[in-house]
Amino acid sequence: MRRYQIVMDTNVLIAALRSQRGASYKLLSLIDTAKFELNVSVPLLFEYEDVAKRDKQMAGGLSETEINNILDYICAVAHRRKIFFLWRPYLKDPKDDHVLELAVESQCDYIITYNKKDFAGIEAFGIEAITAKEFLQRIGEIP
């Protein structure tokens, strides 16, 4: 059976770092399982790092070393993709275009995000923007 291909938006990672009780944390804890495949690119990893380290409160008070360890883990288990096609400008917020480009390159099923409205129109690429909770429900991890 084909595993779902996903891209995790930065806001989902930050939510996972802030709290161990939510759907984002559960999603992060499942990235090395056979339930789905997480895809990353260099620009997305730089964004993860920038946002997580910019403000200690945003990352749940984690130290820089802890953040580096989490990002290293993501790099180790995720599929690293190179982007050859640029679809810019496509989205309302140009800062999100690199996420869409990664999703297209990875032939993703879902972009996991809490800003679904920012990804309006991605259905044209066969990709759906859903929240972490919605995704976990689809893969049977929560009712």
The H or E element that residue 40 is part of is strand 36-40
Residue 28 has pLDDT above 90, yes or no: yes
Q: Which CATH number fits domain 4-138: 3.40.50.300, 3.40.50.1010, 2.60.40.1730, 1.50.10.20?
A: 3.40.50.1010
Q: What is the mean pLDDT of the chain?
A: 92
Reading the block at residue 113, the tokens are 């995000």
Compute the average pLDDT of residues 2-6: 91
Per-residue pLDDT, 131: 98
pTM of the model: 0.92
What b-and-e string marks burial along 69-84, b requiring 16 or more CB atoms within 10 Å of the CB? ebbeebeeebeebebe
> How confident is the model at residue 88, as a pLDDT?
64
Least reliable range by pLDDT among 2-16, 57-71, 119-133: 57-71
Q: Rounded CA gap, 114 and 14, in Å? A: 11
Checking if the pLDDT of 13 tops 90, the result is: yes
